[in-house]
Chains A and B, each alone.
Chain A
Amino acid sequence: MSLKRVVITGMGALTPIGNDVSTFWKNLVAGVSGAAPITRFDAEKFRTRFACEVKGLDINNYIPRQEARKMDPFAQYAVIAADEAMKDAGFGADTLDLDKAGVIWGAGIGGLKTFEDEVMGFAENGKTPRFNPFFIPKMIVDSASGILSIRYGFRGPNFITVSACASATNALIDAYNYIKLGMMNVCISGGSEAAITNAGVGGFNALKALSERNDSPETASRPYDKDRDGFVLGEGGAAIILEELDHAKARGAKIYAEMIGVGMSSDAYHITAPHPDGLGAQIVMKNAVENAGLNPEDIDYINTHGTSTPIGDPQEIKAIEKYFGEHAYKMNISSTKSMTGHLLGGAGAIEAAACIMAIKDQIIPPTINHFTDDPDINPALNLTFNEAQKRTVNIALSNTFGFGGHNASVIFKKYED
Chain B
Amino acid sequence: MSAISERVKQIIVEKLGVEESEVTPEANFQNDLGADSLDTVELIMEFEKEFNLSIPDDQAENIGTVGQAVAYLEENVK
Contact = CB atoms under 8 A, between A and B. Distances in A.
Q: Do A and B interact?
A: yes
7 contacts: A64-B17, A66-B16, A130-B45, A130-B48, A132-B45, A133-B38, A134-B42
B68 to A, nearest CB: 19
A127 interface: no
Contacts of B42: 132-134
A65 interface: yes
Contacts of B53: none
Nearest to B40: A133
A218 to B, nearest CB: 39
Q: How large is the interface on B (under 10, 10 to 19, 20 to 34, 35 or more residues)?
A: under 10
Nearest to A137: B38
Contacts of B49: 130
A133 B60 CA distance: 15
Interface string B46-66: 001100000000000000000
Given A66-B17, A130-B48, A130-B49, 13 more contacts: A64-B17, A65-B17, A66-B16, A130-B45, A132-B42, A132-B45, A133-B38, A133-B41, A133-B42, A133-B45, A134-B38, A134-B42, A137-B38
Most chain B CB inside 10 Å of its own CB: which residue of A64, A65, A133? A133
What 3 A-B pairs are tightest by C-beta distance, nearest first? Answer: A66-B17, A133-B41, A133-B38
A65 B14 CA distance: 10
A64 B49 CA distance: 25
Nearest to B38: A133
Contacts of B45: 130, 132-133
A163 B41 CA distance: 34
Interface string B19-59: 00000000000000000001001100100110000000000
Interface string A104-146: 0000000000000000000000000010111001000000000
Contacts of A133: 38, 41-42, 45
A130 B50 CA distance: 13
A139 to B, nearest CB: 14
Nearest to A66: B17
Contacts of A66: 16-17
